[in-house]
A and B are shown apart, each in its own frame.
Chain A
Amino acid sequence: MSVTQAPPARRDTAGRDTVRRIGQWSQHLPPVLGLAAAVALWWAVTVVFEVESFILPSPLQVAQTLVEDADYLWDNTLVTLWETLLGFLLAIVVGVPLALVVTASRMLERTVYPLLLMLNAVPKVAVAPLLVVWMGFGQFPKVFLVFLVCFFPIVISTAAGLSSTQADLVELGRSLKMNWWQTFRMIRMPAAVPQLFVGLKLAITLAVIGAVIAEFVGATEGLGYVIVASGASADTALAFAAMILLGVLSVVLFYLTAAVERFFVPWADRS
């Protein structure tokens, strides 16, 4: 007769938990070590070669600046963060539907893709001043540049996800007589989500770069502006502090995106 299986007992026993915690900890060890080594090397260079602080400030000077100018830096970080997020969200809102449209018809795909490729090939650094001419000095041109930078990876990855549905799942849909909309809603769209997140993770790192490029021209605030302004006044320590914050911002946003992914697609990469 049937082999009745009881649901397995909770797998997370106390012993396993400890092992896992040590595992998690040792997982974070290499990046921390790498960071520490880089800072130590940087420090050694400034001490050994007695580098002038306006050329290369020591880690200590940068740390001092981070503390002393904390308020100023925080305000500007928020400006850049806001531009980044707005542009990123705009790219999702426009990019995902466009990917849907593009994959719905071969003709549209062939019409739109070359345009997209050309748009993507335009160096964004060259566009930044133009955006100022067109849109003025406010936040909008910054948001728009972030949008331009994020848009492409999001469209491409979503479209790839939508058009690469596993053959046996498509076949399943066919055997159940699903119509186009049912196939799309129940199979193709959810199947594309992991690919969408590949694009989102790529886009979010580009987004920060896009915001900074936009802030290099015609800006009065934001971390990009801080870097330009401190360069002009030879306050290199401040520029370094801003760059470190940019790095942190980028890393945090990336891992947040990855966390959202784990929440929404716990099944990805495992089937």
Chain B
Amino acid sequence: MIGIRNVSQVYRTRAGDVEALREVSLDVADGEFVAIVGRSGCGKSSLLRLVAGLQTATSGEITVAGTPIRGPRQDIGFMFQRPALLPWRSVIDNVMLPLEVFKVDRRVARTRAHELLDLVGLNGFDKRLPHELSGGMQQRVSLCRALIQQPRVLLMDEPFSALDALTRADLTVELQRLQMKHASTVLFVTHSVDEAVLLADRVVVLSPRPGRLRQIVEVDVARPRSLGHDGHSAALGELRARLHDLLMTTEEVTR
């Protein structure tokens, strides 16, 4: 579904060139959930923005659903680290925004928005303004907005990192449920190893300066997963420890 071929990104700044990504290649299958972890500044956001078509790579090629990326596309949904809701629009109008831009019939849009809000437990809040919601609720609205255009690919850049640990756990569970239901292709950037092993089919570890693909870890554990006292915790614990070590050590790329 997503094909990333030898992608490099160099930023030219007044202080000199910054090599954010070097020769990154990655294939994501249809319906697969791939998490990207790595230290701060290793180019995770850059990679995601490239796939989203928000910026162009210095070299290399990216395709989504077989077509090269030339700019933002309707079949790609993007969820930001911050909710980025329009403060003057009600919750429902925020969720409907993409369909308004894509000129989808308002009634269709409204029905779909209500379904999504129900799905994330926000029914009854549709007429509120964003500032009347908690951070976690705002991020759920943002998730609904990313899903309403029914994208083939969903890109998420640390979507839960601004939330407290419990809300974060809640939303992780919810995202897992949505993913199991819709089986959409997701590329998910996170700092949290826990999130990565709970959600992903594969975890991609990037190494910093310049960002390179260090290792891909398969998470072969049945869903729904949880970090609590259940059958999977041993397997997940093992994976967590492995990812943790990969992130903490800075040895050269192993192939």
Bound form: Cα–Cα A190–B89 in Å: 10
The reply to whether the CB of B31 lies closer than 8 angstroms to some CB of chain A is no
Bound form: Cα–Cα A176–B84 in Å: 13
The reply to whether the CB of A71 lies closer than 8 angstroms to some CB of chain B is no
Instruction: Name the CB-closest residue of A to B174.
Output: A2
Residues from chain B with a CB closer than 8 A to the CB of A187 are: 86
Q: Assess whether A3 is in contact with B121, with CB atoms less than 8 Å apart.
A: yes
Q: Assess whether B177 is in contact with A1, with CB atoms less than 8 Å apart.
A: yes
Say how far A195's CB is from chain B's closest CB, in angstroms: 13
The reply to whether the CB of A67 lies closer than 8 angstroms to some CB of chain B is no
User: What 1/0 mask marks residues of chain B from 70 to 110 whose CB sits below 8 Å from any chain A CB?
Assistant: 01111000101010101110000000011011100000000
Residues from chain B with a CB closer than 8 A to the CB of A12 are: none
- Taking a contact as CB atoms closer than 8 A, the residue among B131, B137, B170, B174 that contacts A270 in the complex is B131
Q: Assess whether B84 is in contact with A171, with CB atoms less than 8 Å apart.
A: yes
The reply to whether the CB of A175 lies closer than 8 angstroms to some CB of chain B is yes
Bound form: Cα–Cα A266–B125 in Å: 17
The reply to whether the CB of B241 lies closer than 8 angstroms to some CB of chain A is no
Residues from chain A with a CB closer than 8 A to the CB of B97 are: 176, 186
Q: Assess whether B86 is in contact with A175, with CB atoms less than 8 Å apart.
A: no
User: What 1/0 mask marks residues of chain A from 258 to 271 whose CB sits below 8 Å from any chain B CB?
Assistant: 00000001110011
Instruction: Name the CB-closest residue of B to A172.
Output: B84
Q: Assess whether A267 is in contact with B129, with CB atoms less than 8 Å apart.
A: yes
The reply to whether the CB of B29 lies closer than 8 angstroms to some CB of chain A is no
Max chain B Cβ within 10 angstroms of own Cβ: one of A2, A171, A174: A2
Within 8 A of B (CB), among A163-204: 166, 168-169, 171-172, 174-178, 182, 186-187, 190-191, 193
Residues from chain A with a CB closer than 8 A to the CB of B73 are: 177
Q: Assess whether A2 is in contact with B84, with CB atoms less than 8 Å apart.
A: no
Residues from chain A with a CB closer than 8 A to the CB of B170 are: 3
- Taking a contact as CB atoms closer than 8 A, the residue among A4, A169, A176, A191 that contacts B98 in the complex is A176
Q: Assess whether A267 is in contact with B80, with CB atoms less than 8 Å apart.
A: no
Instruction: Name the CB-closest residue of A to B71.
Output: A177
- Taking a contact as CB atoms closer than 8 A, the residue among A5, A168, A172, A267 that contacts B88 in the complex is A267
Bound form: Cα–Cα A168–B166 in Å: 25
Instruction: Name the CB-closest residue of B to A268.
Output: B87
Instruction: Name the CB-closest residue of B to A182.
Output: B101
- Per DSSP, chain B at the interface is loop
Q: Assess whether B78 is in contact with A175, with CB atoms less than 8 Å apart.
A: yes
Residues from chain B with a CB closer than 8 A to the CB of A232 are: none
Residues from chain A with a CB closer than 8 A to the CB of B84 are: 166, 168-169, 171-172
Say how far B125's CB is from chain A's closest CB, in angstroms: 6
Say how far A269's CB is from chain B's closest CB, in angstroms: 9
Q: Assess whether B82 is in contact with A168, with CB atoms less than 8 Å apart.
A: yes
Say how far B211's CB is from chain A's closest CB, in angstroms: 21
The reply to whether the CB of B28 lies closer than 8 angstroms to some CB of chain A is no
The reply to whether the CB of B235 lies closer than 8 angstroms to some CB of chain A is no
Max chain B Cβ within 10 angstroms of own Cβ: one of A5, A6, A175, A178: A175
User: What 1/0 mask marks residues of chain B from 41 to 74 whose CB sits below 8 Å from any chain A CB?
Assistant: 0000000000010100000000000000001111
With A176-B98, A177-B71, A186-B86 as contacts: A2 and B120 at CB distance below 8 Å: yes
With A169-B84, A271-B130 as contacts: A7 and B101 at CB distance below 8 Å: no
Residues from chain B with a CB closer than 8 A to the CB of A271 are: 87, 130-131
Q: Assess whether A7 is in contact with B124, with CB atoms less than 8 Å apart.
A: yes
Bound form: Cα–Cα A6–B54 in Å: 37
Instruction: Name the CB-closest residue of A to B55.
Output: A174
Say how far A263's CB is from chain B's closest CB, in angstroms: 13
The reply to whether the CB of B122 lies closer than 8 angstroms to some CB of chain A is yes
Q: Assess whether B88 is in contact with A190, with CB atoms less than 8 Å apart.
A: yes
Residues of B whose CB lies within 8 Å of any CB of A are 52, 54, 71-74, 78, 80, 82, 84, 86-88, 97-98, 100-102, 119-125, 129-131, 137, 170, 173-174, 177
- Apart from A174-B72, A182-B101, A186-B97, list 15 A-B contacts with CB within 8 A: A2-B121, A166-B84, A168-B80, A168-B82, A169-B84, A171-B80, A176-B98, A177-B71, A186-B101, A193-B88, A265-B88, A267-B87, A267-B129, A267-B131, A271-B87
**CB pairs A–B below 8 angstroms (8 shown):** A1-B177, A7-B124, A169-B84, A174-B72, A176-B97, A177-B72, A267-B88, A270-B87
Q: Report, nearest first, the 7 A-B pairs whose CB atoms are least far apart.
A: A7-B124, A271-B87, A270-B131, A267-B87, A168-B84, A175-B78, A4-B121
Residues of A whose CB lies within 8 Å of any CB of B are 1-7, 166, 168-169, 171-172, 174-178, 182, 186-187, 190-191, 193, 265-267, 270-271
